[in-house]
Amino acid sequence: MIRTRIVGTGSYLPERVVPNREAGAALGIDPALVTQLTGITERRWAAESQATSDLGVEAGRKALEAAGMQPSSVEAVLLSTTSPDMSFPSTACLLQQKLGCGGGPAFDLAASCSGFLYGLSMADAMIRSGQFIQCLVVAAEVKSRVLDPADPDTALLFGDGAGAVVLRGEKASGRADRGILGIRLHAEGARHDLIRIPVGGSRQPATPESFRMKGSTMRMRGAPLFRLAVRKLDQAIRDIMKEFGVSLEEVAQVILHQANGRILSQLTTRLGLPSSKICSVIERYGNTSSASLPIALDHAVRSGRISAQDMVLLGSFGGGITWATGLVKW
């Protein structure tokens, strides 16, 4: 039996700090009110010279350094993003070349804010099947390029960043072994309209007119998405805990998608968790979409919040709609 372990984590945030006053300038909203509504005081935006692959490379390098691995040892590269460098080739292929990884597979996957856990699940399956031993999973987003500064549902929330993990397959003998215990993925395509970028694909190609009408910017129905996120993720967390016979008391850290401070607060209350078990970085980085969970995970690891043998619960929710959970024995 093979079990997949996370042997290195990394993250990268662009240098440019964007405080609430700047993010909300077109809306005329008081910065303190933004923090009250979202839990965010600042976020990072990529420089004009930076694309998604550039952020992903930096996070990937840090994860490889933490794992004590050379890029050439990576057998597969999976990259989660909904803000790729270009339509094709995949941003994963660009990242593979920039890092100097080997000639194994490299591909993108798009599951919005749940993309990191979708990618983690795919890499875990490939490792457990014996196809590969070591994989790099990266989530990188540059959402600042698709924001409408006059849209209150999105302009205040999103930032740019990247997070990464190195996975390694190791022989396991039983339940006590460290590694990924399980990841559970979900989607409900009937609610795809809750958050989307309507223009730019084959259904509605980008045109000068659509650009003028801001069709290529992100649109979100915040209130119904908020309610659905809390309900679906709450139930999914309870389901995976029951499936693996793990109680919340046994969990050392809960790492969730950093969507909104109020969502994190609601889930903490509903699950009856002490705030010390919830890792939150949203105040400084905002919502970095699929990159937010691995960024928070890297922060928790490097700050000493996670130690060997700890039980770690992962959860995310995003457009599609998609949601996912995971359990890891560190």
Closest by alpha carbon to 77, among 172, 177, 165?
A: 165
φ/ψ of 200, rounded to 5, equals: 125, -5
Active site residue 113: yes
Instruction: Give burial (CB, 10 Å; 0-12/13-18/19+) of 197.
Output: middle
Q: Which stretches does DSSP call E strand in the chain?
A: 2-12, 16-19, 42-45, 76-80, 106-109, 134-142, 160-171, 179-187, 195-196, 219-220, 251-256, 278-279, 311-318, 322-329
CB 108 within 8 A of CB 91: yes
CB 14 within 8 A of CB 161: yes
Q: Which of 113, 135, 260, 279 is catalytic?
A: 113
- Helix (H), strand (E) at residue 61: helix 52-67
Written as six digits, the tokens of 112 are 């919005």
Residue that is written with structure tokens 């794992």 in the block = 67
Closest by alpha carbon to 163, among 289, 259, 262, 280?
A: 289
Tell me the residue type at 4.
T
Residue that is written with structure tokens 């935006």 in the block = 45
How many C-beta atoms lie closer than 10 Å to residue 75's C-beta? 21
Q: Is 302 left (phi over 0), alpha (psi -120 to 50) or beta?
A: alpha
Closest by alpha carbon to 228, among 116, 115, 327, 319?
A: 319
Q: Which of 257, 260, 279, 299 is catalytic?
A: 257
Q: Read out DSSP for 64-131?
A: HHHHT--GGG--EEEEE-SS-SSSSS-HHHHHHHHHT--SS-EEEE--GGGHHHHHHHHHHHHHHTTS
- Residues acting as catalytic residues: 113, 257, 287
